[in-house]
């Protein structure tokens, strides 16, 4: 899988994730699907509603966000391509918690955020047997 974002959209992603540091932040990726290539045309940050004291290593999207953004994408001829979230003070590698809660097909953009700002961003996709993630190609241009 390849995920393409403009520099401006990727900056919107990292700016949001820096704003929630030291807690996790996240949101949805909406855009166009063309074979194995996904082009993000907009991002939709959402609130983290996990228990406050656990938000430094956990993210849960607010109630209703999935339905609202999926309906928006469907109504506008777009596709809900996946979601992004931060790993504060941790590498951009999916955790076991990520795997257990992951969905197939979705593009999982994980960004490592450190005290001095966003670090590496990496793209992942759950294998269809749910056993692990495969890394995809993240293209920012």
Partner 1 sequence: MATIKIPTPLRPYAGNNAEIEVNGETVGAILDDLTGQFPELKTHLYNGGELRNFVNIFLGDEDIRYRDGLDTDVEPGDKLRIVPSIAGGC
Residues with Cβ within 8 Å of residue 86, at least 6 apart in sequence: 17, 20, 21, 24, 25, 26, 59, 110, 111, 112, 113, 118
For the chain, the C-alpha Rg in angstroms (whole number) is: 14
* Contact with partner 1 (CB under 8 A) among 9, 32, 41, 58: 58
Question: Under a CB-based contact definition with an 8 Å cutoff, are residues 109 and 123 in contact?
Answer: yes
| Interactions with partner 1, residue window 80-119 (CB under 8 A) | 80, 83, 85, 87-88, 90, 95, 97-98, 101, 103-106, 108, 110
Tell me: does residue 43 bind partner 1 (CB under 8 A).
Answer: no
Smallest gap from Cβ 98 to partner 1, in A, equals 5
C-beta atoms surrounding 97 within 10 Å: 11
Judged by CB under 8 A, the stretch of 1-9, 37-45, 122-130, 132-140 that binds partner 1 is: 122-130
Tell me: does residue 45 bind partner 1 (CB under 8 A).
Answer: no
Tell me: does residue 131 bind partner 1 (CB under 8 A).
Answer: no
Bridge partner list, 108: 83, 124
Tell me: does residue 14 bind partner 1 (CB under 8 A).
Answer: no
Question: Under a CB-based contact definition with an 8 Å cutoff, are residues 72 and 29 in contact?
Answer: no
Tell me: does residue 44 bind partner 1 (CB under 8 A).
Answer: no
Bridge partner list, 5: 140
Positions that interact with partner 1 (CB under 8 A): 24, 26, 28, 46, 50, 57-61, 65-67, 70, 73-74, 79-80, 83, 85, 87-88, 90, 95, 97-98, 101, 103-106, 108, 110, 128-130
């Amino acid at each position: 899988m390849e995920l393409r974002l403009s520099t401006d959209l990727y900056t919107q992603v990292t700016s949001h994730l820096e704003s929630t540091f030291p807690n996790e932040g996240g949101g949805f990726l909406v855009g166009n699907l063309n074979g194995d290539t996904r082009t993000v045309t907009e991002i939709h940050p959402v609130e983290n509603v996990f228990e406050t004291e656990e938000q430094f290593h956990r993210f849960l999207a607010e109630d209703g966000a999935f339905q609202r953004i999926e309906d928006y994408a469907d109504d506008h001829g777009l596709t809900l391509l996946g979601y992004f979230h931060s790993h504060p003070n941790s590498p951009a590698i999916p955790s076991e918690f990520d795997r257990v809660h992951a969905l197939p097909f979705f593009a999982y953009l994980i960004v490592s955020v450190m005290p001095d700002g966003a670090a590496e961003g990496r793209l992942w996709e759950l294998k269809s047997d749910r056993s692990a993630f495969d890394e995809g190609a993240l293209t920012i241009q």
